[in-house]
Amino acid sequence: MINIAIVDDHEMFREGLVLVLSQVEDINVVGDFSSGDSFLKALADLDIDIVLMDIKMEGLNGIETTQKAKTIKPDLKVIAVTMFVEDSYYIQMINAGAHGFVLKKAGKYELAQAIHEVNKGGNYFSQEILQKMAFKAISGKDEKENQLSTREVEVLRLICKGLSTKEISEALFISQKTVEVHRSNILRKSDQKNIAQLVIWAIKNNYTTI
Amino acid sequence: MINIAIVDDHEMFREGLVLVLSQVEDINVVGDFSSGDSFLKALADLDIDIVLMDIKMEGLNGIETTQKAKTIKPDLKVIAVTMFVEDSYYIQMINAGAHGFVLKKAGKYELAQAIHEVNKGGNYFSQEILQKMAFKAISGKDEKENQLSTREVEVLRLICKGLSTKEISEALFISQKTVEVHRSNILRKSDQKNIAQLVIWAIKNNYTTI
DNA sequence: TATTTACTAAGGGAAAACCCCTAGTACTAT
DNA sequence: ATAGTACTAGGGGTTTTCCCTTAGTAAATA
C-alpha cells in the first residue's frame, strides 16, 4: 500500500484527486491539504510515502513547501503537479527534491503510473515535460544564463500587474532607466518580443498568477 | 435521483468531478464527455436532468454546445462551470439557457447545492458571480455599451498572441490606423490601461486561452 | 586579491503605443 | 427615409517602450 498526501489550494481539483486516487487499489490517500503551511504542520504525524504537490499556491508555494518538508522528512518523495508545460520552475522543483513531475491535464492512469514509478525509487516526468527539457538541451541554450534575477522577477511581477516603467520605478525607488534595463533583460532572457507575449510567458512559467 | 452529465475537456478535473458527484446520495453521473461534440452526439440517447458544462473548451465551447443541446432537448438544464469570476461570457451563457453558474474553485457542497437548486426548477449562481453582477449593476455601466464587437475580439486575440499593430494590420488586411482605433476602443471598453492588464483581462474573460 | 554578477543609471535614438480629431461607407433597425 | 452602429482610415501629436552604448558600486566567488 502506498500512502499519499495531496497539497493543492484548488478545492475541487484536490477533492477530485483524492477520489481518483482512492480508486486505485494499492494507493491510500492519507490526507489532503489546501496549503503548504497546513501540510508542514501535519507532516510529522503523517505516515506517507509520497506527496503530490501543486507548485503554484497562495502563501507557501510548492517549491518552498518541498524544501521545508525535506528538512522534516528527508526521505519523503515528492511529485510536482503543474498546469503548464512551460513551467520554468521544474528545475527548482527538481533541485528542491522532487522525484516526479506531472501535468494537471494528465489522466488517472498516468498519475497512478507516476506514483508507482516514484514509489519504486525511480523518477517520473510527463512526456511533454521531457520533450521540453530535451528541446532546451539540444537548442544549446544554457539554462542558467537565462535565469531571471531576484530584481528581474520583482519587475516582471509589476509589469504583469500593469504598472508602467514610471510606476515601477516609483514602487521600487529606482530610476526609470534602471527599470528599462530590467525590462529589456527580462525580454531578452525570456525570448519574448513584447509585453503581451511576456505576460503570457510569465503566467505559464508561474512568475505571476491570474 | 438526479441524472447528471459532465462536459469538460480537462481530463483529471472531469474524472474528479465524476467521483465527487458520485458520492452525493441522490446524484447519479450518467456520462462524462471531453468535448461539446461528443456530448451532443450522445445527447439523444442520454436520460439526464442536468449537464455540468465547462465554458472554455477546444472545438465547440460551452455556449455553442448549450445552444445546440437546447435545440435537441429544450428542457435540459445546464449549469455552467467557469474558472474566473470576471468571465464576461456568463451573460451569453444565461442567454443560451444556463440555469446555474459555479466557479471551478467551488467545493462539492456548493456544487451539490447548485445541482439540487437547479433540479427543483430554480437557479444557482456562485456568490462571487452574483457580487460581480450586482457591482456592475450599481456601477451604472451599461453592459451592452462595453461589449466588444466581432472585429474587436479578433484584434484582441491577435494582441494577446503578441502581434504588433503593424502585424495585426497585415494579418487582417486593414491599415495600421484602423487597428489603432480598435486597440483604443478595446482598452476603453475593457477599462484596462495597457497591454499587460488587457492580456490578463482577456484571459479572465475567456477571450483568449493560455 | 582579482573576477564575476547583480543592480544601479545615464545619453541618445528608433519604434511602437496611445490619444486627440474628422470622416466616409455599409449594414441594420425603426 | 433616417438614425444608429461597425468598420474603415487619415492627420498630428505625446508618451512609452525598446534598443544601443558606457559605467560605477557592492557583494559574492574563485
Check residue A54 and give its pLDDT: 92
CA distance B154 to B137: 27
HSE-up (13 A, CA, CB side) for residue A4: 29
What percent of chain B stands above pLDDT 90?
64
Which residues of chain B lie closer than 8 angstroms to A15, CB-CB?
Answer: 16, 20, 107-108
| Interface membership of A83 toward B (CB under 8 Å) | no
Q: Tell me what the mean pLDDT of segment B23-45 comes to.
A: 94
CA B139 to C1' C29, whole Å: 29
CA distance B129 to B141: 17
C-alpha pair distances (Å), A168 with each of A31, A125, A127, A135: 42, 38, 39, 34
pLDDT at A3 over 70: yes
Amino acid at A36: G
* CB–CB contacts below 8 A, A to B: 103
Q: CB-CB: which of A11, A106, A193 is closest to B107?
A: A11
CA distance A138 to chain B (A): 25
- CB contact under 8 Å between B17 and A17, yes or no, is no
Nucleotide nearest to B163 (CA to C1'): C16
What DSSP line would sit under B80-111, residue for residue? EEES-TT-TTHHHHHHHTEEEEEETT--HHHH
- Beta-sheet pairing, B98-103 with B77-82: parallel
Task: Pick A85 or A197 by higher pLDDT.
Answer: A197
Which residues of chain A lie closer than 8 angstroms to B111, CB-CB?
Answer: 12
- Label residue B8 by pLDDT band (50, 70, 90): very high
Q: Locate the chain A residue with the closest alpha carbon to B201.
A: A210
| Interface membership of B201 toward A (CB under 8 Å) | no
Q: Locate the chain A residue with the closest alpha carbon to B18.
A: A16
Check residue A139 and give its pLDDT: 62
C-alpha pair distances (Å), A78 with each of A38, A70, B151: 16, 9, 47
CA distance A198 to A175: 22
- CB contact under 8 Å between B203 and A195, yes or no, is no
- CB contact under 8 Å between A196 and B17, yes or no, is no
* Segment among A83-87, A148-152, B32-36, B74-78 with least mean pLDDT: A83-87
- CB contact under 8 Å between A195 and B197, yes or no, is no
- Beta-sheet pairing, A98-103 with A124-125: parallel
Alpha-helical runs (H) found in A30-175: 36-43, 62-72, 90-96, 108-119, 127-138, 150-160, 165-172
- Label residue B145 by pLDDT band (50, 70, 90): low
Check residue B140 and give its pLDDT: 54
pLDDT at B87 over 80: no
CA distance A72 to chain B (A): 30
SS3 content of chain B, % helix, strand, coil (to 5): 50, 15, 35
| Interface membership of B200 toward A (CB under 8 Å) | yes
Tell which residue, B99, B195, B197, B198, has the closest CA to residue B148: B198
Check residue A145 and give its pLDDT: 62
Check residue A144 and give its pLDDT: 56
Give the protein-side footprint of strand C (Cβ within 7 Å).
A 147, 149-152, 172, 174-178, 180-182, 194; B 164-166, 180-181, 183-184, 187, 193-195
CA distance B145 to chain A (A): 24
| Interface membership of A105 toward B (CB under 8 Å) | yes
- The 3-state DSSP class for residue A86 equals coil
Q: Which residues of A5-18 are buried (b: 16+ CB within 10 A; e: fewer)?
A: bbbbbbbbbbbbbb
Q: Tell me what the mean pLDDT of segment A43-56 comes to.
A: 94
- Label residue B138 by pLDDT band (50, 70, 90): low
- Label residue A185 by pLDDT band (50, 70, 90): very high
The single-letter DSSP state of residue A145 is: G
Which residues of chain B lie closer than 8 angstroms to A210, CB-CB?
Answer: 84, 200, 203-204
CA distance B170 to B179: 10
pLDDT at B142 over 70: no
Whole-model pTM: value is 0.86
Check residue A16 and give its pLDDT: 83
Check residue B193 and give its pLDDT: 93
pLDDT tens figures, B93-112:
888 889 999 998 888 889 99
Interface test with A, best of B19, B58, B157, B179 (most A CBs within 10 A): B19
C-alpha pair distances (Å), A65 with each of A159, B21, B185: 27, 30, 44
Beta-sheet strand order (sheet of B124-125)? B27-33, B2-7, B50-54, B77-82, B98-103, B124-125
Task: Pick A94 or B33 by higher pLDDT.
Answer: B33
Nucleotide nearest to A166 (CA to C1'): D16
Check residue A95 and give its pLDDT: 80
Most confident residue range from A11-20, A104-113, A182-191, B140-149: A182-191
- Label residue A15 by pLDDT band (50, 70, 90): confident
In strand D, the nucleotides that come within 7 Å of a protein beta carbon are: 5-12, 16-21
- CB contact under 8 Å between A194 and B159, yes or no, is no
Q: Tell me what the mean pLDDT of segment A28-47 comes to.
A: 95
Check residue A143 and give its pLDDT: 55
CA distance B195 to B188: 12
pLDDT tens figures, A137-152:
666 555 556 789 999 9
